[in-house]
């Protein structure tokens, strides 16, 4: 069963009350039973091993009793913020889901020149954050990667990070490992991925100093971020 997340304020006196989407999933989909054991994270530091003490049907909610608390050990030390150019259809959902599983710290949708999808409105952004939370629970993450409101290409590249990388299909050098090999103890990385049509010529000129190649194969826009994350964490030993 996947892990669930709550706000730290929901943890009181050795118990946790799950409500909303999490409770609906447990009660109506998973058909949770009394005394069943669950793992709950506070989204910050700690995981809580619990058992189901009470189940309420209308509206669905679940009272959990805490068995023990332990510090989460699944989070990478390096925080990678993915600047993902907006993708059409369900491709953005896929990018969010897989990168949340892969260890990304946060995702910022980007409106770059060749983007064809509209910026996510409040409802779409909330849905993307729910996808991130579900993926984080499935992969036993310590945090839920936040999906931020969309920014422009120029706003994205002006954000401050210890190092900034842009996955560019026409870059021949350096590789991700070559770029990261020049630094030590890196903790904060910005990573940009273009849309289905790639970066425009003007954008390519702007990112040339931090463009990296992901290899000889051309990747889909929704999988390039995960591929880059894997290379980053492999290089950093995480």
Q: What is the pLDDT of residues 145-157, one digit of tens each?
A: 999 999 999 999 9
- 124-126-130 Cα angle (round to 5): 115
Confidence band, pLDDT 50/70/90 cuts, at residue 1: low
Closest CA to 93 of 227, 230, 231, 222: 222
Summarised one tens digit per residue, pLDDT across range 130-142 is 999 999 999 999 9
**pLDDT tens digits, 4-18:** 999 999 999 999 999
DSSP-derived letter for residue 10 is: G
Length of the chain, in residues: 238
d(CA 214, CA 79): 19
> Residue 13 class from Cβ within 10 Å (0-12 exposed, 13-18 middle, 19+ buried)?
exposed
- The pLDDT of 172-181, averaged and rounded, is 88
Q: Span 165-176, mean pLDDT?
A: 91
What percentage of the chain reaches a pLDDT higher than 90? 83
pTM of the model: 0.92
What gap in Å lies between CA 89 and CA 109, rounded to an integer?
14
193 CB contacts (<8 Å, ≥6 apart)? 82, 83, 84, 85, 95, 166, 167, 221, 224, 225, 228
Residues in CB range of 165: below 8 A, 6 or more apart: 176, 179, 189, 190, 191, 192, 210, 211, 212, 228, 232
Per-residue confidence band for 185, with pLDDT thresholds at 50, 70 and 90: confident
């Amino acid at each position: 069963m996947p892990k669930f997340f709550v706000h730290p304020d929901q943890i009181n006196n050795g118990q946790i009350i799950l409500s909303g989407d999490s409770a609906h999933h447990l009660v109506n989909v998973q058909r949770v039973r009394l005394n069943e054991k669950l793992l709950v994270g506070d989204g910050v530091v700690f995981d809580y091993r619990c058992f189901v003490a009470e189940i309420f049907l209308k509206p669905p909610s679940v009272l959990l009793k805490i068995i023990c608390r332990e510090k989460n050990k699944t989070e990478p030390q390096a925080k990678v913020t993915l600047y993902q150019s907006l993708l059409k259809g369900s491709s953005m959902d896929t990018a969010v889901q897989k990168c949340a599983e892969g260890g990304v710290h946060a995702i910022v949708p980007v409106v770059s020149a060749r983007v064809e999808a509209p910026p996510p409105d409040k409802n779409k952004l909330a849905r993307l954050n729910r996808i991130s939370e579900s993926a984080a629970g499935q992969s036993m993450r310590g945090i839920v990667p936040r999906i931020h409101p969309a920014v422009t290409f120029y706003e994205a590249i002006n954000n401050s990070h210890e190092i900034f990388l842009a996955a560019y299909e026409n870059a021949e050098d350096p590789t991700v490992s070559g770029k990261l090999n020049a630094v030590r103890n890196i903790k904060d990385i910005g990573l940009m991925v273009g849309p289905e049509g790639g970066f425009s010529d003007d954008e390519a000129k702007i990112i040339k100093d931090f463009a990296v190649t992901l290899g000889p194969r051309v990747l889909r826009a929704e999988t390039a971020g995960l591929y880059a994350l894997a290379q980053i964490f492999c290089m950093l030993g995480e």
